Chains A and B, each alone.
Chain A
Amino acid sequence: MSDRSPICYDSKIEGNMIITRLDAAINWMRSNSLWPMPMGLACCAIELMAAGAARYDISRFGAEVMRFSPRQSDVMIVAGTVTYKMALSVKRIWDQMPEPKWCIAMGACASSGGMYRSYAVLQGIDHLIPVDVYISGCPPRPEALLDGLMRLQKKIMGESALANQKKALFESL
């Protein structure tokens, strides 16, 4: 058991009781049940599907519940080329997702426009929505997506209380 882990549990000492900080418990629950909003826009979506299927099995990380409703989603996986025609729709779906929410930009196109330096393609989804994890690759292999997911889990585990994260939001309420 690591000294650094925010969650410690020793059944010999504590029996059926866990003592932890509320933040740590909430983060632990959130990071292990990230329900993705699969924003599949191009070939990266094929790799996203592969990550969801049996061989790579994203459910090992608690993220297998692909919700096609933004209201039930925690993390938006932007997988593919975001054209300007689609961009505001992606933003709108992002706005419909409840807090807390995270975004993974999967692949070169979603991260930076990729090879599509052109009039038709948004040069990175971070122009519209905040991105937590960028995954390189064209398209990234499913392992890369799983690595990105694990990094996002690590990031969530380090987050402080929601009241600290969203000060402006809480003050406005």
Chain B
Amino acid sequence: MNASDAAASISGKFSESVSGRNEFRGETTLVLRAEVLRDVCAFARDGLGFDYLVDISSVDHFGDEPRFEVVYELYSMKDGAHLRLKIPVSEDACEAATVSDIWPTADWHEREVYDLMGIRFTGHPDLRRILMWEGYPHHPLRKDFPLEGKPTDVPGVAFTATAPLAGGPFVTVPTDGTTQAREPRARTAGEVRNPEPAP
């Protein structure tokens, strides 16, 4: 069964809960309502043969509602099929159901999403930070977290200070403009942080 057939099968079985289906350059994506995620995942593993969860990632659509999106990359070892599932997560709830009992590998992926994006996974057996340390107060991959960081201190464990960006490369600003406006090669000190969007 290839990914298109799998997506069709899921769309048929959970027709009222699949809010979007997208095929682009041979990649199949399904957008689901968050409530049915666990049912769809269990069906995908047991009924459709997606025995491998490649990755869980998350997207911060800062300024939009729902703000976050959690992305699941599924793979079938037998068929070589790759399917992507997405669920929206609102900023108020900031919660998603765990799939760590369906694919045990989800355990650490969900911890990473929790650590860096701040989305909590209900039912997770051990939801601790995985990269940053316990006591670090921020979730660094959120769009409203500055790249240079914020000063923190957990005595005896770790501290952080802001990095001197000095207008260097890789500094992005939230803007509607093109990539050049969003992420120029370098920015000189004193330049406006929030340039006008390109017409």
Q: How far is the CA of A118 from the CA of B169 in the complex (A)?
A: 11
Q: Is B61 part of the contact surface with A, judged by Cβ < 8 Å?
A: no
> Which residue of A87, A113, A118, A127 is within 8 Å of B147 (Cβ)?
A118
- Chain A residues, Cβ within 8 Å of B148: 117-119
Q: Is B164 part of the contact surface with A, judged by Cβ < 8 Å?
A: yes
- Chain B residues, Cβ within 8 Å of A63: none
Q: Are B160 and A119 in contact (CB under 8 A)?
A: yes
- B residues 144-199 near A (Cβ < 8 Å) are 145-150, 156-161, 163-166, 168, 170
Q: Are A88 and B156 in contact (CB under 8 A)?
A: yes
Q: Is A55 part of the contact surface with B, judged by Cβ < 8 Å?
A: no
- Chain A residues, Cβ within 8 Å of B150: 119
Q: Are B163 and A113 in contact (CB under 8 A)?
A: yes
Q: How far is the CA of A114 from the CA of B108 in the complex (A)?
A: 29
Count B interface residues, CB 8 Å: 23
Q: Are A119 and B156 in contact (CB under 8 A)?
A: no
Q: Are A85 and B132 in contact (CB under 8 A)?
A: yes
Q: Are B158 and A119 in contact (CB under 8 A)?
A: no
Q: How far is the CA of A85 from the CA of B115 in the complex (A)?
A: 14
- Chain B residues, Cβ within 8 Å of A117: 147-148, 163-166, 168, 170
Q: Are B161 and A123 in contact (CB under 8 A)?
A: yes
Interface string of B55-66 (1 = CB under 8 A from A): 000000000000
Interface string of A98-142 (1 = CB under 8 A from B): 000000000000000100111111010001000000000000000
Q: How far is the CA of A58 from the CA of B163 in the complex (A)?
A: 34
Q: Are B158 and A88 in contact (CB under 8 A)?
A: yes
Q: How many pairs of residues, A versus B, come closer than 8 Å at their CB atoms?
A: 46
Interface string of A41-65 (1 = CB under 8 A from B): 0000000000000000000000000
- Chain A residues, Cβ within 8 Å of B133: 85
- Chain B residues, Cβ within 8 Å of A9: none
Report the minimum CB–CB distance from B116 to chain A (whole Å): 10
Q: Are A85 and B158 in contact (CB under 8 A)?
A: yes
Report the minimum CB–CB distance from A122 to chain B (whole Å): 8
Q: Are B163 and A119 in contact (CB under 8 A)?
A: yes
- Chain A residues, Cβ within 8 Å of B160: 84, 119-120
Q: Are B163 and A121 in contact (CB under 8 A)?
A: yes
- B residues 57-90 near A (Cβ < 8 Å) are none
- Chain B residues, Cβ within 8 Å of A85: 131-133, 158
Closest A residue by C-beta to B132: A85
Q: Are A84 and B159 in contact (CB under 8 A)?
A: yes
> Which residue of A88, A118, A120 is within 8 Å of B157 (Cβ)?
A88
Q: Are A118 and B149 in contact (CB under 8 A)?
A: yes
Q: Is B140 part of the contact surface with A, judged by Cβ < 8 Å?
A: yes
28 chain-A/chain-B pairs, Cβ below 8 angstroms: A84-B160, A85-B131, A85-B132, A85-B158, A87-B158, A88-B157, A88-B158, A88-B159, A116-B163, A117-B148, A117-B163, A117-B164, A117-B166, A117-B168, A118-B147, A118-B163, A119-B138, A119-B145, A119-B147, A119-B148, A119-B160, A119-B163, A120-B132, A120-B140, A120-B160, A123-B161, A123-B164, A127-B161
**Chain B residues engaging chain A, CB cutoff 8 angstroms:** 131-133, 138, 140, 145-150, 156-161, 163-166, 168, 170
What are the 8 A-B residue pairs with the smallest beta carbon separation, nearest first? A119-B149, A117-B163, A84-B160, A84-B158, A119-B140, A117-B165, A85-B158, A123-B163
